[in-house]
Structure 1
């Protein structure tokens, strides 16, 4: 199917979603997963051992659930999602109340420490006026921005720690963000550099 990913809030980058899968016996499973998008092509990396990987290999299908509920992300890791959290879309288990669902065919491309699958959309539905997938790159920009605003008021002894934290956030942006996140980080680093230059002049 032709799918405009931007209508679901998905652009280039890695988007944190809750993936749903189904066993051969029809038992649903959910787990957080990074949905990779590059120029409209979707893929995932799945590590073993996991029920998600086993189910994808068995059925060749995966559901992507776009949502921002932290409880569902956490409960999908610790195994506390009972059947009341699931509903059915096109014969496949998805998460109740998600902002959007995508059912995809998963094609195994590489097998190693992690399994790389390319994804082909089969069906999709946006359940609300807009969908807002979680992007770690965007979140890292916000964290780095907060740290940057504190830099000039911190003691010298604390500034190295702030810069190390910002460098860590930059790595997340580089890995998970899209063009706008990369541009935002470049602007933020330029801002910090100007502050440091000004302080050197005034000393």
Structure 2
């Protein structure tokens, strides 16, 4: 099972980096598998630390993959050389236990050393889930057929229309605009451009 989370790391100079990333759990360990090139990977190798952030503010997911908003407030982590989102429901602080290197997608086995809850979870919201799915689509525009993107975005739009609040509508707007920009770049280059992958 893969859980969609926000991973925060810090560069050697303390500069924070925020990235949506799927995480798997093996007991007390968290498994991260970022694609190269990856700022998250570089920061973890250098600091041996990262933080998993659990948030229902889906603007963070959409803002990062569209580059519309990447400068979310952070605080210093409690036990590891990293940062956490200032506004999250909970966070888990991780230390690097094992690095299985790979030219394309290394596997990071991280040990959870500290957890903290900050706010209650209010329940599932369909629009929030739709934004997360939309963010995954946008991160893969360079490899997905346009008709598949259109079909899935149209279906996700139903949940947005029925259940979204202000944050979800803002995030969805960023995603829709990102798809439009991608299509415009394809047209302007004759349909042969390759959109850069999102670097986590």
Q: TM-score range by the shorter chain?
A: 0.5 to 0.7
The 1:58/1:40 distance shift into structure 2, 3 A limit, reads closer
| Structure number having the greater helix percentage | 1
For the pair 1:114 / 2:105, whether they are aligned, the reply is: yes
Extract unaligned runs of 5+ from structure 2: 134-151, 153-200
The residue that corresponds to 2:137 in the other structure is none
Contact kept in structure 1, 2:75 and 2:86, CA below 8 Å = yes
After the TM superposition, which residues 164-183 of structure 1 pair with which residues of structure 2 at under 5 Å, given as runs?
none
| Distance across 2 between alignment mates of 1:21 and 1:131 | 27
For the aligned residues, what is the CA RMSD?
Answer: 2.9
The residue that corresponds to 1:30 in the other structure is 18
Give the TM-score normalised by structure 2: 0.55
| Distance across 2 between alignment mates of 1:22 and 1:40 | 22
CA drift of 1:109 comes to 3.3
The residue that corresponds to 1:176 in the other structure is none
Extract unaligned runs of 5+ from structure 1: 1-12, 144-164, 166-203
Query: Which of residues 60, 71, 93 in structure 1 aligns to 2:83?
Result: 93
Q: Which runs of 4+ in 1 moved over 6 A?
A: 131-134
For the pair 1:52 / 2:43, whether they are aligned, the reply is: no
| Structure number having the greater strand percentage | 1
After the TM superposition, which residues 98-177 of structure 1 pair with which residues of structure 2 at under 5 Å, given as runs?
98-112=88-102, 113-130=104-121
| Distance across 2 between alignment mates of 1:26 and 1:85 | 14
Query: Which of residues 40, 49, 54 in structure 2 aligns to 1:66?
Result: 54
Give the TM-score normalised by structure 1: 0.54
The residue that corresponds to 1:81 in the other structure is 70
| Distance across 2 between alignment mates of 1:75 and 1:87 | 19
CA drift of 1:117 comes to 1.0
The 1:53/1:131 distance shift into structure 2, 3 A limit, reads farther
| Distance across 1 between alignment mates of 2:124 and 2:3 | 6
The 1:109/1:132 distance shift into structure 2, 3 A limit, reads farther
| Distance across 2 between alignment mates of 1:133 and 1:43 | 24
Contact kept in structure 2, 1:15 and 1:34, CA below 8 Å = yes
For the pair 1:14 / 2:32, whether they are aligned, the reply is: no
Max Rg structure: 1
